[in-house]
Amino acid sequence: MIRVAINGYGNLGRGVEQAITRNADMETVVVLTRRDPSSLTTLGAPVAHLEDMAAWEDKVDVCLNCGGSATDLAEQGPQAAAHFNTVDSFDTHARIPEYFAAVDAAARQADHLALISTGWDPGLFSMLRVLGESVLPDGATTTFWGPGVSQGHSDALRRIDGVLDARQYTLPVPQTVEAVKAGDDVELTTRSMHRRDCYVVAAPGADRSRIEREIVEMPNYFADYDTSVTFISAEQMRAEHGGIPHGGTVIRRGRTSEGVSANVTFELQLGSNPEFTGSVLVATGRAVARMAARGERGARTVFDLTLADLSPRTPEELRATYL
Amino acid sequence: MIRVAINGYGNLGRGVEQAITRNADMETVVVLTRRDPSSLTTLGAPVAHLEDMAAWEDKVDVCLNCGGSATDLAEQGPQAAAHFNTVDSFDTHARIPEYFAAVDAAARQADHLALISTGWDPGLFSMLRVLGESVLPDGATTTFWGPGVSQGHSDALRRIDGVLDARQYTLPVPQTVEAVKAGDDVELTTRSMHRRDCYVVAAPGADRSRIEREIVEMPNYFADYDTSVTFISAEQMRAEHGGIPHGGTVIRRGRTSEGVSANVTFELQLGSNPEFTGSVLVATGRAVARMAARGERGARTVFDLTLADLSPRTPEELRATYL
Concatenated DSSP letters of A16-46? HHHHHHT-TTEEEEEEEESS-GGG---SS--
Q: Do B283 and A135 touch (CB under 8 A)?
A: yes
Mean pLDDT of chain B: 97
Let me know: does A273 contact A296? Beta carbons within 8 Å.
Answer: no
Q: Classify burial at B150, counting beta carbons within 10 Å of its beta carbon; exposed 0-12, middle 13-18, buried 19 or more.
A: buried
Across the beta sheet with B148-149, the strand order is: B148-149, B163-172, B194-202, B226-231
Give the C-alpha separation, B136 to B264, whole Å: 9
Q: Do B256 and A18 touch (CB under 8 A)?
A: yes
Task: Single out the residue of B84, B67, B61 nearest to residue B16, CA to CA.
Answer: B67
Band the pLDDT of B70: cuts 50, 70, 90.
confident
B145 known ligand binder = yes
Task: Single out the residue of B18, B203, B75, B99 nearest to residue A260, CA to CA.
Answer: B18
Q: Do B18 and A257 touch (CB under 8 A)?
A: yes
In which element (H, E) is residue A231 found?
A: strand A226-231
Which chain B residues touch A275 with a CB distance below 8 Å?
A: 256-257, 260, 262
Band the pLDDT of B5: cuts 50, 70, 90.
very high
Let me know: does B251 contact B181? Beta carbons within 8 Å.
Answer: yes
Q: What pLDDT was estimated at residue A292? A: 98
Which chain A residues touch B178 with a CB distance below 8 Å?
A: none
CB pairs under 8 A between A and B: 214
Fold: same for A2-122+274-321 and A124-271: no
pLDDT in tens, A66-93: 986 677 888 899 999 999 999 999 999 8
Band the pLDDT of B307: cuts 50, 70, 90.
very high
Q: What is the nearest CA distance from A251 to chain B, expressed in angstroms?
A: 9
Q: What pLDDT was estimated at residue A254? A: 98
Pairing of strands A139-145, A113-115: unpaired
Residue of A nearest to B316 (CA): A97
Q: What is the nearest CA distance from B322 to chain A, expressed in angstroms?
A: 6
Give the C-alpha separation, B50 to B60, whole Å: 14
Which chain A residues touch B260 with a CB distance below 8 Å?
A: 243, 271-272, 275
Band the pLDDT of B72: cuts 50, 70, 90.
confident
Give the C-alpha separation, A317 to B25, whole Å: 34
pLDDT in tens, B35-46: 999 999 999 999
Which chain B residues touch A306 with a CB distance below 8 Å?
A: 303-306
Band the pLDDT of A161: cuts 50, 70, 90.
very high
* CA A212 from centroid of its chain's CA atoms: 30
Q: What pLDDT was estimated at residue B190? A: 96
**Single-letter amino acid code for the residue at B165:** D
Band the pLDDT of A42: cuts 50, 70, 90.
very high
Q: Do A280 and B127 touch (CB under 8 A)?
A: no
Q: What pLDDT was estimated at residue B299? A: 98
Mean pLDDT computed over A268-284:
98
Which chain B residues touch A138 with a CB distance below 8 Å?
A: 22
CA-to-CA separations, B11 to B8, B16, B32, in angstroms, rounded: 9, 9, 14
Q: What are phi and psi of A225, to 5 degrees?
A: -120, 160
Respond yes or no on whether ipTM tops 0.90: yes
Please determine, looking at this structure, whether the domain spanning B124-270 carries the CATH number 1.25.40.10. Answer: no
Number of CB atoms found within 10 A of residue B237's CB: 17
Give the C-alpha separation, A286 to A87, whole Å: 10
Contacts of B257 (CB under 8 A, 6+ apart): A15, A18, A272, A275
Which chain A residues touch B129 with a CB distance below 8 Å?
A: 322
Which chain B residues touch A97 with a CB distance below 8 Å?
A: 316, 319-320
Q: What pLDDT was estimated at residue A70? A: 72
Q: What are phi and psi of A40, to 5 degrees?
A: -105, 140
Give the C-alpha separation, B113 to B62, whole Å: 9
Contacts of B58 (CB under 8 A, 6+ apart): none
Give the C-alpha separation, B95 to A183, whole Å: 39
pLDDT in tens, B214-258: 999 999 999 999 999 999 999 999 999 999 999 999 999 999 999
Mean pLDDT computed over B155-180:
97
Task: Single out the residue of A93, A19, A10 nearest to residue A275, CA to CA.
Answer: A19
Q: Do B269 and A275 touch (CB under 8 A)?
A: no
Q: What pLDDT was estimated at residue A287? A: 98
Domain ranges of chain A: 2-122+274-321, 124-271
Number of CB atoms found within 10 A of residue A44's CB: 10
Considering only the beta carbons, identify the residue of A96, A136, A283 that sits closest to B134: A283
Let me know: does B88 contact B82? Beta carbons within 8 Å.
Answer: no
Predicted confidence (pLDDT) at residue B108 exceeds the cutoff of 70: yes
- CATH superfamily for A124-271 is Dihydrodipicolinate Reductase; domain 2 (3.30.360.10)
CA-to-CA separations, B184 to A213, A244, B29, B42, B179, in angstroms, rounded: 41, 22, 52, 51, 5
Q: What pLDDT was estimated at residue B71? A: 79
Considering only the beta carbons, identify the residue of B303, B315, B323 that sits closest to A306: B303
Which chain A residues touch B304 with a CB distance below 8 Å?
A: 306, 308, 315
A180 sits in the region (left: phi over 0; alpha: psi -120 to 50; else beta) called alpha
Q: What are phi and psi of B244, to 5 degrees?
A: -125, 65
Which chain B residues touch A318 with a CB distance below 8 Å?
A: 130, 301, 303
Binding residues of A: 9-12, 33-35, 66-69, 89-91, 118-122, 145, 170, 196, 246, 273
Residue of A nearest to B308 (CA): A303
Mean pLDDT computed over A284-307:
98
Considering only the beta carbons, identify the residue of B135, B307, B319 that sits closest to A96: B319
In which element (H, E) is residue B288 found?
A: helix B273-293
Give the C-alpha separation, A289 to A278, whole Å: 16
Q: What pLDDT was estimated at residue A71? A: 79
Contacts of A239 (CB under 8 A, 6+ apart): none
Mean pLDDT computed over B87-98:
94
Let me know: does A54 contact A38? Beta carbons within 8 Å.
Answer: no
Across the beta sheet with A163-172, the strand order is: A148-149, A163-172, A194-202, A226-231
Percent of chain B beyond pLDDT 90? 96
Q: What is the nearest CA distance from B210 to chain A, expressed in angstroms?
A: 37
Give the C-alpha separation, A82 to B201, whole Å: 71
Mean pLDDT computed over A30-54:
97
Q: Do A263 and B275 touch (CB under 8 A)?
A: no
Considering only the beta carbons, identify the residue of B181, B271, B311 that sits closest to A256: B271
Mean pLDDT of chain A: 97
B90 known ligand binder = yes
Considering only the beta carbons, identify the residue of A131, A256, A301 that sits closest to B18: A256
Q: What pLDDT was estimated at residue B68? A: 67
Q: What pLDDT was estimated at residue A255? A: 98
Contacts of B149 (CB under 8 A, 6+ apart): B167, B168, B169, B170, B241, B243, B244, B245, B246, B273
Q: What is the nearest CA distance from A279 to chain B, expressed in angstroms?
A: 5
Residue of A nearest to B267 (CA): A265
A2-122+274-321 CATH fold: Rossmann fold (3.40.50)
Residue A170: strand, helix, or coil: strand
Q: What is the nearest CA distance from A270 to chain B, expressed in angstroms?
A: 4
Band the pLDDT of B3: cuts 50, 70, 90.
very high
Q: What pLDDT was estimated at residue A72? A: 83
Give the C-alpha separation, B121 to A323, whole Å: 7
Q: What pLDDT was estimated at residue A68? A: 67
